[in-house]
Chains A and B, each alone.
Chain A
Amino acid sequence: MSQHHNQPGFTDQSLIRNFCIIAHIDHGKSTVADRILQLSGIVPEREMRDRFLDRMDIEQERGITIKSQAVRVPWTFDGVEYTLGMIDTPGHVDFTYEVSRALAACEGAVLLVDATQGIEAQTLSNLYMAIDHDLTIIPVLNKIDLPSAEPDKHAEEIAGLIGCDPADVLRVSGKTGEGVRELLDRIVVEVPAPTGDAQGDARALIFDSVYDSYRGIVTYIRMVDGELRSREKLHMMGVGTTYDPIEIGVISPDMMPTRALGAGEVGYVITGAKDVSQSKVGDTITSAAHPATEPLPGYRDPQPMVYAGLFPIDNAQFPELREALDKLKLNDAALIYEPETSVALGFGFRCGFLGLLHMEIVSERLRREFGLDLISTAPNVPYEVTAEDGTVHRVTNPSEFPDGKIKRIVEPMVAADIITPKEFIGAVMDLCQDHRGIMGTMEYISTDRVEMHYRIPLAEIVFDFFDQLKSRTKGYASLDYHEDGEQAADLVKVDILIQGDKVDAFSAIVHRDKAYSYGVMMTKKLRELIPRQQFEIPIQAAIGSRIIARENIRALRKDVLAKCYGGDITRKRKLLEKQKAGKKRMKMLGHVEVPQEAFVAALATGDSANDRDTKDKIRAAQKSEG
């Protein structure tokens, strides 16, 4: 046999098929991708690594993919070798922009749905985005080997969504490999070949950029027009920098340097950029010698939507926290941070994140990979606050909230899509209403599942919305949201005072209706968490100078040990030594000693005010408002 093999840089566009896989967490994307690599012969079975495409531990554990990658896969159909570019997409809500760039690098998308669970909100949202990008959709049900699979039911559901015949929905099992060959054949037949200008000035879309400790920044690109050669100077059209590329190549399945990348091909370039912010997703790479005149459309800088303070519990770890953030930044263009000083928490960083999950991932990596013990403050969204004198403040931290009278506060809004079994419609409506959501439309996506559309302040989502959604729907509902403008709202800053002193870490910007419950809950929590001391400690919540909730920690009257005879002395001394060591973990707020654990516990989200005392106090506080 002397079959022709396509060489990188010399592959005719008509033989190229670029596609991505859209799937929800745990719907089996990685298993199917692994199966594809194995069937194509580029990864021998014995070398198959489980979940080949997911590289980071945390992602594996959480079943999510933060960073997408791209593999060049050969596939022969009808005696002709085709080159498939398989682009992995991030699976989560916070990375919408990255997803959109990955989609822009493809002509087709495999919609992969778990046959036991059906489609989820984020998948649906990514599917709509793919349709917006005019991608050819190949619907696939996975996990058909499982006894609980309901392929007929979910095929109907998918057919209803994308307007195909239920019989066209492919049925595969990543686990057994069943149906995966047919899937690859379908990709060749149905996904259009790229149609860029192979002779034009080079234009490559950056759809991902990853820091690798050995190679530096690896930038994943999709050649749209022209070609890039390995010794050619590159120019980033958005950022405006020029590089001598160190290496250009394809991944199949390991990095393989090539002399060039041609129109339609997917590959990587190592530029020598120091961190990913110099090689940004969405930017266009062109040749420095023969630059294109127009960059590819769609480049933008994602703005942080959630801010929080991260403080080392042991303030001596501040330099380590800085180093760790610097390292994460290499690989995370969306992460921003600047030093912050808190009276209560000491030295730390104010960090900006794309969303709540992004925040969780970053703080978890700091804890796990860098061994840092951290306190994070409550998440905060960016507000635009206009003071009475007309000055406008961008407030990403309650401490920036201007004193005095406020003319207007504008908060960011999101469009939230929630898919839930119909029996939870009422529960979801209650939840959204509690969170100031405004209902839009609602559609049945199958006989027993609905998609509900809401407009909700982002601030409401970032607190404990997702946990509550899951708990009120027994885990069945899924959520997706994206930015949707802003609105003016009646927001106030609630301060918490311990013994009359404001504790900056506990201040929060909340809707006026929620101020009382925040104040009551926080003061109650702190009363439980702060140990009694020699003096009485009032704990108050206040809006400006008006106290809206109050708790008292009674003075400690007795801490003495009754007996201290011959045999007790050693034990007593050791106990005192232990207490003394414990004091080092106390923060002094004025004269009040507050254990670190109290900050961690008080700032933890997810508690709801369901006990009677809390409800009574909230009601009383609201009444006093009149």
Chain B
Amino acid sequence: MGADFEVYVHVPFCLRRCGYCDFNTYTASDLGAGASRANYARMAAREMELVYDWQCAYGIAEPAASTVFFGGGTPTVLSPDDLVFLVERIRTLWGIAPGAEITTEANPDTVDETAIDRLAAGGFTRISFGMQSAVPHVLRTLDRTHTPAHVTRGVRAAQAAGLDASVDLIYGAPGESLDDWRTSVRSALDLGVLHLSAYALTVEPTTAMGRRIAAGTLPKPDDDDEAAKYEIVDAMAQAVGLEWYEISNWAAPGHESRHNLGYWRNVDWAGIGPGAHSHYRLPAGGDDGGGGRAVRAWDTLHPRRWGQQINEGQVPFADHESIDPQADLEETIMLGLRLREGLDLQAVQARTGTDLAPVVHALTGDGLVTCTQGRITPTLRGRLLNDTVIQRVFSAVLH
């Protein structure tokens, strides 16, 4: 392990907050303590240096970054120069591996051709557009400000600039019919994208939408409806040659998001920015007894406090958890079972000493997984009932 190293940069700004969103993002442009939109790139770069020094102090020697991902919030509220500047900082500190994947998320109405060209020139290889829907009333329900035309223009520009373009869709918004959903999927695929993410709308109680649903003024998303919509997108994507490779992700072969695959393969990554999570395997043989163990740390959530910590010269970690072998095993199982490449049975059996044949047999019998070459992969039904599959594997190996 530790062969790959990834860098994630969180940009906690949006022009407006969407009613369903519970991400760590802010619409004010200046949050104090240097955490302003204008100054953000400098703060993030400073954090990278602090993190780099911290890694050295703990003997964590990372290879050159194989992927970089800017997420948010809306990373494209920063100027392309700021984004490129941060890529360069990463290159200076850790290095960027040849052929690395460098992605930014973008709201369709915050990028234009000029910006995209500058990103491409600055080393970006991929843009992921938050399309969400192609149906105006659904976009309204989701508080999105862009129009389907923005999406077309952005994707065309990215393709023209030689970037891989991906679009995100959300299904299950209140009032969205099955036909609305087909329209959205069709529009996305008609753009000729080689990567598609589709997420069931997750309503968090703390969001504006969550409160409206709790108050009964908006209908609650329905699991059966979402299941039907999942089957629709899976079939339609497959029909144009995009295969699922993770539960919510489809791609033409070779165009998977390598950065996200890294999360599911449990590689090391540094998370930069307020609330960002990092994951490291500690070097073996340390005298703290943590040798070979993994640790997950996360940055202080509020940008102002985050900025203060950086100004004081501290890595702005809020807290961390040490992942014991049991938790590590649980993560390996739950993440592996989300992937088309599947869960490596031999590895799990070796770690637990448990024969997985009976549970695999039962899951196969229930049509939830298939098993090939020592790996189990969820079927379509097993993707939809993924928690059930995970729990059944858990109960077979954990006591």
Q: Closest CB-CB distance, B172 to chain A, in whole Å?
A: 9
Out of A563, A565, A576, A583, name the residue touching B334 (CB < 8 Å): A576
B334 x A567 contact (CB < 8 A): no
Interface hit among B118-126, B179-187, B235-243, B379-387 = B379-387
Hey, which chain B residues are within 8 Å of A577, CB to CB? 330
Out of A562, A563, A565, A580, name the residue touching B395 (CB < 8 Å): A580
The contact size tier of chain B is: 35 or more
B263 x A565 contact (CB < 8 A): yes
Hey, which chain B residues are within 8 Å of A562, CB to CB? 199-200, 202, 247-248
Q: Closest CB-CB distance, A566 to chain B, in whole Å?
A: 5
B227 x A557 contact (CB < 8 A): yes
Q: How far apart sit A570 and B263, CA to CA, in the bound complex (Å)? A: 12
How many A-B contacts at CB < 8 Å in the complex?
94
Hey, which chain A residues are within 8 Å of B298, CB to CB? 567
Hey, which chain A residues are within 8 Å of B230, CB to CB? 558
B281 in contact (CB, < 8 A):
no
A167 in contact (CB, < 8 A):
no
Q: Tell me the chain A residues, 567-624 only, with Cβ under 8 Å from chain B.
A: 567, 569-570, 572-573, 576-577, 579-580, 583
Q: Closest CB-CB distance, B159 to chain A, in whole Å?
A: 25
Hey, which chain A residues are within 8 Å of B202, CB to CB? 561-563
Q: Tell me the chain A residues, 527-577 only, with Cβ under 8 Å from chain B.
A: 534, 554, 556-567, 569-570, 572-573, 576-577
A558 x B226 contact (CB < 8 A): yes
B263 x A583 contact (CB < 8 A): no
A566-B279, A570-B321 are known contacts. Are A558 and B331 too (CB-CB below 8 A)?
A: no
A534 x B338 contact (CB < 8 A): no
Q: Choose among A566, A572, A579 the residue with the greatest number of B CB atoms under 10 Å from its CB.
A: A566
Out of B200, B223, B330, name the residue touching A573 (CB < 8 Å): B330
A567 x B276 contact (CB < 8 A): yes
Hey, which chain B residues are within 8 Å of A572, CB to CB? 334
Hey, which chain A residues are within 8 Å of B200, CB to CB? 558, 560, 562
Q: How far apart sit A563 and B197, CA to CA, in the bound complex (Å)? A: 10
Hey, which chain A residues are within 8 Å of B80, CB to CB? none
Hey, which chain A residues are within 8 Å of B227, CB to CB? 557-558
Hey, which chain A residues are within 8 Å of B275, CB to CB? 567
Q: How far apart sit A557 and B269, CA to CA, in the bound complex (Å)? A: 34
Q: Tell me the chain B residues, 144-202 only, with Cβ under 8 Å from chain A.
A: 199-200, 202
B331 x A573 contact (CB < 8 A): yes
Closest residue to B223 on the A side, CB-wise? A558
B386 x A559 contact (CB < 8 A): yes
Number of A residues, CB within 8 Å of B: 23
B17 in contact (CB, < 8 A):
no
A576 x B263 contact (CB < 8 A): no
A566 x B263 contact (CB < 8 A): yes
Hey, which chain A residues are within 8 Å of B330, CB to CB? 573, 576-577
Q: Tell me the chain A residues, 65-83 only, with Cβ under 8 Å from chain B.
A: none
A557-B384, A558-B223 are known contacts. Are A566 and B321 too (CB-CB below 8 A)?
A: no
Q: How far apart sit A59 and B159, CA to CA, in the bound complex (Å)? A: 80
Q: How far apart sit A195 and B199, CA to CA, in the bound complex (Å)? A: 91
A566 x B8 contact (CB < 8 A): yes
Q: How far apart sit A202 and B246, CA to CA, in the bound complex (Å)? A: 90
Q: Tell me the chain A residues, 167-220 only, with Cβ under 8 Å from chain B.
A: none
Closest residue to A579 on the B side, CB-wise? B391
Q: How far apart sit A624 and B385, CA to CA, in the bound complex (Å)? A: 38
Q: Closest CB-CB distance, A568 to chain B, in whole Å?
A: 9
A567 x B277 contact (CB < 8 A): yes
B279 x A534 contact (CB < 8 A): no
A573 x B327 contact (CB < 8 A): yes
Hey, which chain A residues are within 8 Å of B391, CB to CB? 576, 579-580, 583
Q: Closest CB-CB distance, A495 to chain B, in whole Å?
A: 28
Q: Chain B, 250-290, contact with A by CB distance < 8 Å: what is the 0/1 string?
A: 00000000001001100001010001110100000000000
A583 x B395 contact (CB < 8 A): yes
Q: How far apart sit A557 and B383, CA to CA, in the bound complex (Å)? A: 10
B385 x A558 contact (CB < 8 A): yes
B335 x A560 contact (CB < 8 A): no
Q: Closest CB-CB distance, A565 to chain B, in whole Å?
A: 6
A563 x B296 contact (CB < 8 A): no
Q: How far apart sit A563 and B277, CA to CA, in the bound complex (Å)? A: 15
Closest residue to A565 on the B side, CB-wise? B263
B247 x A560 contact (CB < 8 A): yes
A534 x B387 contact (CB < 8 A): no
A567-B277, A570-B277, A573-B331 are known contacts. Are A559 and B394 too (CB-CB below 8 A)?
A: no
Hey, which chain A residues are within 8 Å of B321, CB to CB? 570
Q: How far apart sit A128 and B392, CA to CA, in the bound complex (Å)? A: 65
Q: Choose among B199, B260, B330 the residue with the greatest number of A CB atoms under 10 Å from its CB.
A: B330
Q: How far apart sit A566 and B395, CA to CA, in the bound complex (Å)? A: 25
A534 x B388 contact (CB < 8 A): yes
Closest residue to A556 on the B side, CB-wise? B385
B384 x A560 contact (CB < 8 A): yes
Hey, which chain A residues are within 8 Å of B390, CB to CB? 576
B312 in contact (CB, < 8 A):
no
Q: How far apart sit A534 and B296, CA to CA, in the bound complex (Å)? A: 34
Out of B224, B296, B366, name the residue touching A570 (CB < 8 Å): B296
Hey, which chain A residues are within 8 Å of B386, CB to CB? 559-561
Q: Closest CB-CB distance, B386 to chain A, in whole Å?
A: 4
B387 x A579 contact (CB < 8 A): yes
B38 in contact (CB, < 8 A):
no
B398 in contact (CB, < 8 A):
yes
A560 x B387 contact (CB < 8 A): yes
Q: Choose among A556, A558, A567 the residue with the greatest number of B CB atoms under 10 Å from its CB.
A: A558
Q: Closest CB-CB distance, A190 to chain B, in whole Å?
A: 67
Q: Choose among A559, A567, A572 the residue with the greatest number of B CB atoms under 10 Å from its CB.
A: A567
Q: Closest CB-CB distance, A574 to chain B, in whole Å?
A: 9
Q: How far apart sit A567 and B385, CA to CA, in the bound complex (Å)? A: 22
Q: Closest CB-CB distance, B199 to chain A, in whole Å?
A: 4
Q: How far apart sit A573 and B391, CA to CA, in the bound complex (Å)? A: 11
Hey, which chain A residues are within 8 Å of B277, CB to CB? 566-567, 569-570
A565 x B296 contact (CB < 8 A): no
Q: How far apart sit A565 and B296, CA to CA, in the bound complex (Å)? A: 13
Q: How far apart sit A566 and B9, CA to CA, in the bound complex (Å)? A: 11
Out of A534, A564, A566, A583, name the residue touching B271 (CB < 8 Å): A566
Out of A534, A561, A580, name the residue touching B394 (CB < 8 Å): A580
Closest residue to A571 on the B side, CB-wise? B277
Q: How far apart sit A576 and B223, CA to CA, in the bound complex (Å)? A: 18
Q: How far apart sit A563 and B204, CA to CA, in the bound complex (Å)? A: 13
A566-B263, A567-B277 are known contacts. Are A534 and B366 too (CB-CB below 8 A)?
A: yes
Closest residue to B224 on the A side, CB-wise? A557
Q: Tell me the chain B residues, 335-387 only, with Cβ under 8 Å from chain A.
A: 335, 338, 366, 368, 383-387
A563-B248, A573-B330 are known contacts. Are A558 and B264 too (CB-CB below 8 A)?
A: no
A560 x B269 contact (CB < 8 A): no
A557-B384, A563-B199, A577-B330 are known contacts. Are A569 and B263 too (CB-CB below 8 A)?
A: yes
Q: How far apart sit A566 and B268, CA to CA, in the bound complex (Å)? A: 10
Q: How far apart sit A579 and B391, CA to CA, in the bound complex (Å)? A: 8
Q: Tell me the chain B residues, 307-334 only, with Cβ under 8 Å from chain A.
A: 321, 327, 330-331, 334
Closest residue to B230 on the A side, CB-wise? A558
Closest residue to A577 on the B side, CB-wise? B330
Out of A557, A566, A567, A576, name the residue touching B387 (CB < 8 Å): A576
Out of B276, B338, B394, name the residue touching A564 (CB < 8 Å): B338
Hey, which chain B residues are within 8 Å of A567, CB to CB? 271, 275-277, 298
Closest residue to B170 on the A side, CB-wise? A562
Closest 7 CB pairs of A and B: A557-B227, A560-B386, A558-B227, A562-B199, A559-B387, A562-B200, A567-B277
- 9 pairs, CB–CB < 8 Å, chain A vs chain B: A563-B199, A566-B8, A566-B269, A566-B279, A567-B271, A570-B296, A573-B334, A576-B394, A580-B398
Given A560-B386, A566-B271, A567-B271; 4 other pairs, CB 8 A cutoff:
A556-B388, A558-B384, A560-B387, A562-B200
